[in-house]
């Protein structure tokens, strides 16, 4: 049985947002059992739960009334991958820092704060039946299972990412298999995104750029993009508020689809039980 976890030490980090290009400061503090992951901005608490998702365009934004926190997925993925379930995160700024574009810096930051085991078991969800959802060309299917896995396939025709597939079988291997994978983008998107006021903080130090004939900067591994897709899926699925037992199959999915299927899971109540 896995138990809830938090951190022992307060830790601060500063960095620049991928889209806003502005600096933010985050302070991580220990939280008691059954608190969950809670962002605090301008004295307002914003739980990291799907009900607080206000935007899924080019990332996940959480919000409450007029307060928003952009691009939470990489940080939440690291928290989820380390099975840290209770945390207060104070933020000054608009957006979670992009750092190197992966979740590995967040893993190291959290580990340096010393992870503390708590007395309550993790909240677990087990599927009673299969469920699926579509969004655009994306498809996601969840099958009941006694464990958790993700099979992800991505395909971008007319690029080097015509087909990439990866199977992630064990959350214990998150740091080794997934955390290092950086966010990626395509050369043909850059101008449009900049015109929309996005990627102001992007650079070749914080993203993998895919050009017309190949990678513009060196990938950390040949299938880094599909591994980053799994990183995003884990970050988004953390917004369920617990750990899911299911075999997840993802085909060209994105943040909007991930949030849709989480909401569908909760709305249709397809769980056998939870604790």
> Hey, which residues are catalytic here?
255
Q: Which two tokens stand for residue 114?
A: 């010393």
Cα three-residue angle 122-226-156, rounded to 5 degrees:
140
For residues 112 and 116, what is the distance between their CA atoms, to the nearest angstrom? 11
Using alpha carbons, select from 154, 272, 178 the residue that is nearest to residue 234: 178
Q: Give the neighbor-by-neighbor strand order of the sheet with 61-64.
A: 53-55, 61-64, 67-69
Beta bridge partners of 248: 142, 150
Q: What are phi and psi of 33, to 5 degrees?
A: -55, 145
Beta strands in the chain (DSSP E): 3-7, 11-16, 23-30, 37-41, 44-47, 53-55, 61-64, 67-69, 87-92, 115-121, 124-127, 131-135, 138-144, 148-154, 164-168, 184-186, 208-210, 243-251, 271-274
How far does CA 235 lie from the centroid of its chain? Answer: 2
For residues 105 and 96, what is the distance between their CA atoms, to the nearest angstrom? 12
SS3 1: coil
For residues 153 and 116, what is the distance between their CA atoms, to the nearest angstrom? 35
Beta bridge partners of 141: 132, 249
SS3 165: strand
């Amino acid at each position: 049985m896995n138990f809830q976890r938090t951190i022992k030490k307060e830790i601060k980090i500063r960095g620049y947002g991928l889209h806003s290009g502005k600096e933010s400061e985050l302070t991580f503090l220990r939280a008691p059992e059954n608190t969950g992951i809670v962002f605090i901005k301008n004295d307002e608490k914003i739980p990291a739960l799907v009900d607080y998702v206000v935007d899924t365009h080019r990332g996940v934004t959480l919000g409450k009334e007029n307060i928003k926190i952009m691009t939470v997925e990489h940080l939440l993925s690291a928290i989820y991958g380390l099975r840290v379930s209770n945390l207060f995160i104070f933020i000054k700024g608009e957006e979670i820092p992009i750092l190197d574009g992966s979740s590995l810096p967040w893993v190291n930051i959290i580990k340096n704060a010393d992870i503390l085991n708590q007395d309550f078991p993790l909240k677990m969800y087990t599927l009673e039946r299969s469920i699926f959802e579509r969004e655009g060309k994306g498809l996601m299917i969840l099958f009941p299972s006694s464990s958790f896995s993700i099979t992800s396939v991505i395909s971008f025709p007319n690029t080097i990412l015509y087909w990439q597939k990866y199977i992630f079988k064990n959350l214990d291997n998150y740091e080794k298999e997934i955390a290092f994978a950086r966010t990626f983008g395509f050369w043909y998107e850059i101008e449009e995104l900049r015109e929309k006021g996005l990627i102001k903080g992007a650079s070749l130090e914080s993203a993998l750029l895919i050009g017309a004939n190949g990678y513009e900067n060196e990938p950390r591994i040949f299938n880094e993009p599909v591994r980053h897709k799994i990183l995003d899926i884990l970050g988004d699925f953390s917004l369920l508020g617990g750990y899911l037992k299911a075999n997840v199959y993802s085909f060209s999915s994105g943040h909007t689809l991930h949030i849709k299927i989480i909401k569908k899971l909760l709305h249709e109540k397809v769980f056998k039980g939870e604790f």
